[in-house]
Structure 1
């Protein structure tokens, strides 16, 4: 293998490794992926065996998650198909409270005998753990929901679309990028179907069918004369939708400042790949930024990551309490700040909402992984910290009686715990377009798409890059910049927020690979915003060496 092939394969492989694939996944024939395997009545019978067994072993509470997780990857490079992978993982995870203590066990033996043995093992583990438990687990009250069903409102099941059609679409995108002069191009189609059945001793039997889709690519442009190279990744968003996301519609295209085309509820991967090649050339020729203070105009495809790191993570209650300190850090938004009711987390126009019901989002489900009906709630209101993200055994710590419904496990084999909901910045109340926002900026930078970032263990001091940077002078975009990154701390940054575009500009972006916990788990989560302006932010030049 030559160096170029190695680098291309390693790069795409590293990206794939970040995606949520269970260690218990097995290759599967694509035709089998459309076979339902078991129906809700069969799952209920199996779940009841586990619940009754757990109670006979002294459990005061038990829940059962029977899960089938399907993944499909189609990976290409230039004119070649690199890989097509279909995986299936099927099993059960059982969680119990015995002697006031949690116990958990999992198995891929989804049979009456397997359910019984797994429930017994969970109870034995709980009894062993109880020797070290200082205080009993306190669960917020949750009524049983009976037998219910929920499904992602998709229009086209991506697993029913022939693999050939997906390959043809990715190849068309690659060809368009190469036609426009790209040196290299990798493209990827990733489909997820989570078939999750939840049952509890409280009387819930919840059957959910969850779909997610992510088309993506990376275009690389090399300038042979100078030896410079630049990448431009796809403007797609990973979505909680079906394959209809790739049925590009003209009404879903947004003409952004600087002549770029952005996408909302559908996506044109071929058009974007061609635009990416042209923009990668422009990035190489762009002027390097002069360090200093700038007003920043941040587009939603960039904003999502800043929201994720500086608001989403620090408002997770387990992080606030120090449970994540060893692996992913703590939070600057400590309990004393919330208790004061006066902590200024942002300017008066900053309002953040957590929402597990948002249509089209990655985190949208009907019920979380401990049977709580999902909802939305305020986290930061008019700039003030008002709440956190918490689950059933945490909310008593913040004097609340209801779980927020944000418990999640990446698979049947992993225990569920508090995970980030879709945390989004509410759009502005006054009608403002991005072009109008830019017209009032004297010295600024308009930033599109997320790039590299760095943030400290308390999610406070940070640095964010991007993909496309446009210089603003006297209310007009004057050209493209490169080597841009901005620095601030979370409180200072959100207090510098002075204007937010209205709901017409609101869009979702997000990630499949929000990592947390030990052993680590991945969570799929979206963050929404409209284009937003921040004044007086420190910008550095990442291309200069000291």
Structure 2
């Protein structure tokens, strides 16, 4: 099956999700095979390191990767598709004559991988003719032989397909009984088995698991011929199948919208049907300035687009513009030490160690141990996201550990780590925040959005909107979107709930690069308030 045909059959349809999954179709049982052991991988890695050194490389790393994917797609009472794929091979990166070279192969024999190593060196030497300055790598001390695994309780790949289908059928039935006209639901599972070795002396074996359970529920008003939808409130997570056991859900104003350590998809489907139906009777918002109370399920996307992307160093420097443009947050703003990105309430950090997050790994794809660092401190821009060959541009000597490739066949480069808004320090709940709002809108869930090529001027929608008057929610509203610019918006942040409200959202498919790659990234925050933000009515009137 070629990539084009696979992508065609892998579209989830009404949910608008197109899953860029790569690999050869396999059986579900093959996904649980152990694969190549660490000793065999080390032997192949040593072939690469020795071959590249003899060919003239001053630095070499190799990633031997086995990438497994499974998704189960359903709609109402039927299964639309079940896909299992496996991709296995090695990517080799070298520096020769001061320049990067890369080659990849799925011929994982000593001869096949040695040939690819020599090819990578040849590519580097060809590139060196056009290199103006030699690559400057921040030093990394080799860690020897180590391993890391996503802490999971239940491997989702080991759960029988029949059990997953039965579960999704129960989800769909709950929505239909509650008043939905249509529903599609999906389970999407990822396992990255990645072995990294480098001439620095590292041999790192990692087993990374991710899970996502999206759904879209639709309610039709037959009188008007219109329809309303509500997407599920599951978060894509770096966890196992235990995430779907629904053990912990809190209710806010009678709405089950807060899921922390697990997700009740059946209950959410039932509620989604009711809320999609209720949208037909919700009044249309009156445009104007409102105080916005933004739930983490919504705010995560605003963080991603207005903070995560503009603080990627390659965008700042103009080296990268694909998918998400460049950045307004230029080096002169950072060097001043005074650029007020947000209010003094705003503390935003990067962290690839957060448990349960999509970006959590022990080491990045350059063998750098992952960590947490500040991006915005008390509203001031203090740092960016950078990897080994970039940090010298910031006069820093240590990589931030945020290098990633979406496949063994892709070259690794700087990718967004988990980027999160720190919670407030004082005890403060969403209910407390709503009581302090005189005229506002409470927004839940991510919707459509638009942001310019400098990651500055933007517009965001959501899934659910509730009008706030004099400290109380007075009803559901529709046709809401807010407009602002990045600096104005974050400087309007006046309050953030405490850590008891902190939740992780995220995306499986953050696009970047050319050729394009995707990465999985989480964004954590507590409910936050933004004062006097411009709200527009998105309803189109047809005369």
> TM-score, normalised on structure 1?
0.96
**Matched residues in 1 for 2:452 and 2:438: separation?**
31
| Alignment partner of 1:495 out of 491, 494, 500 | 491
| Alignment partner of 1:466 out of 462, 465, 468 | 462
| Alignment partner of 1:42 out of 40, 43, 48 | 40
Segments of 5+ residues of structure 2 without an aligned counterpart are 1-8
Segments of 5+ residues of structure 1 without an aligned counterpart are 1-8
Counterpart of 1:86 in structure 2 is 84
Shift of 1:37: 1.8
**Matched residues in 1 for 2:328 and 2:253: separation?**
35
**Matched residues in 2 for 1:407 and 1:275: separation?**
39
Q: Deviations over 1:288-342 (max 9, x none)?
A: 0000000000000001000000000000000101011255311010000000000
> TM-score, normalised on structure 2?
0.97
Mapping of residues 108-123 of structure 1, within 5 Å: 108-123=106-121
| Alignment partner of 2:441 out of 435, 441, 445 | 445
Mapping of residues 291-330 of structure 1, within 5 Å: 291-330=287-326
Counterpart of 1:394 in structure 2 is 390
Q: Deviations over 1:196-244 (max 9, x none)?
A: 0000000000000000000111001100001110110001000000000
- In the superposition, relative to structure 1, how do residues 528 and 326 fare at CA in structure 2: closer, same or farther (>3 Å)? closer
Q: Deviations over 1:95-114 (max 9, x none)?
A: 00000000000011111111
**Matched residues in 2 for 1:342 and 1:399: separation?**
18
Alpha carbons 2:310, 2:455 under 8 Å: kept: yes
Alpha carbons 1:20, 1:512 under 8 Å: kept: no
Shift of 1:19: 2.9
Alpha carbons 1:185, 1:218 under 8 Å: kept: yes
**Matched residues in 1 for 2:303 and 2:21: separation?**
25
**Matched residues in 2 for 1:468 and 1:354: separation?**
28
Alpha carbons 2:15, 2:215 under 8 Å: kept: no
Structure 1 segments, 4+ long, off by >4 Å, are 13-17
**Matched residues in 2 for 1:209 and 1:261: separation?**
31
Alpha carbons 2:403, 2:412 under 8 Å: kept: yes
Q: Deviations over 1:59-102 (max 9, x none)?
A: 00000000000000100000001111100000000000000000
Counterpart of 2:12 in structure 1 is 12
**2:213 alignment partner, SS class:** strand
- In the superposition, relative to structure 1, how do residues 17 and 446 fare at CA in structure 2: closer, same or farther (>3 Å)? closer
**Matched residues in 2 for 1:314 and 1:342: separation?**
17
Counterpart of 1:481 in structure 2 is 477
| Alignment partner of 2:215 out of 211, 214, 217 | 217
RMSD: 1.4
**Matched residues in 2 for 1:348 and 1:502: separation?**
16
**Matched residues in 1 for 2:302 and 2:129: separation?**
42
| Alignment partner of 1:129 out of 127, 130, 142 | 127
**Matched residues in 2 for 1:77 and 1:262: separation?**
25
Q: Deviations over 1:379-411 (max 9, x none)?
A: 000000000000000000000000000000000
Alpha carbons 1:470, 1:480 under 8 Å: kept: yes
**Matched residues in 1 for 2:10 and 2:517: separation?**
22
Alpha carbons 1:446, 1:469 under 8 Å: kept: yes
Q: Deviations over 1:5-27 (max 9, x none)?
A: xxxx99724868643412xx000
| Alignment partner of 2:282 out of 273, 283, 286 | 286
Counterpart of 2:243 in structure 1 is 245
**Matched residues in 2 for 1:227 and 1:124: separation?**
63
Counterpart of 1:5 in structure 2 is none
User: In the alignment, is residue 257 of structure 1 matched against residue 242 of structure 2?
Assistant: no
**Matched residues in 2 for 1:183 and 1:355: separation?**
41
| Alignment partner of 1:408 out of 404, 411, 414 | 404
Bigger CA drift: 318-327 or 196-205? 318-327
**2:237 alignment partner, SS class:** coil
**Matched residues in 2 for 1:10 and 1:29: separation?**
16
Q: Deviations over 1:244-279 (max 9, x none)?
A: 001111xx2111235344211100111000000000
User: In the alignment, is residue 348 of structure 1 matched against residue 310 of structure 2?
Assistant: no
User: In the alignment, is residue 456 of structure 1 matched against residue 452 of structure 2?
Assistant: yes
**Matched residues in 2 for 1:33 and 1:281: separation?**
40
**2:216 alignment partner, SS class:** strand
Shift of 1:152: 0.1
Alpha carbons 2:89, 2:105 under 8 Å: kept: yes
How many residues in Structure 1 have an aligned counterpart in Structure 2? 535
**Matched residues in 2 for 1:260 and 1:506: separation?**
16
**Matched residues in 1 for 2:130 and 2:317: separation?**
19
Counterpart of 2:25 in structure 1 is 27
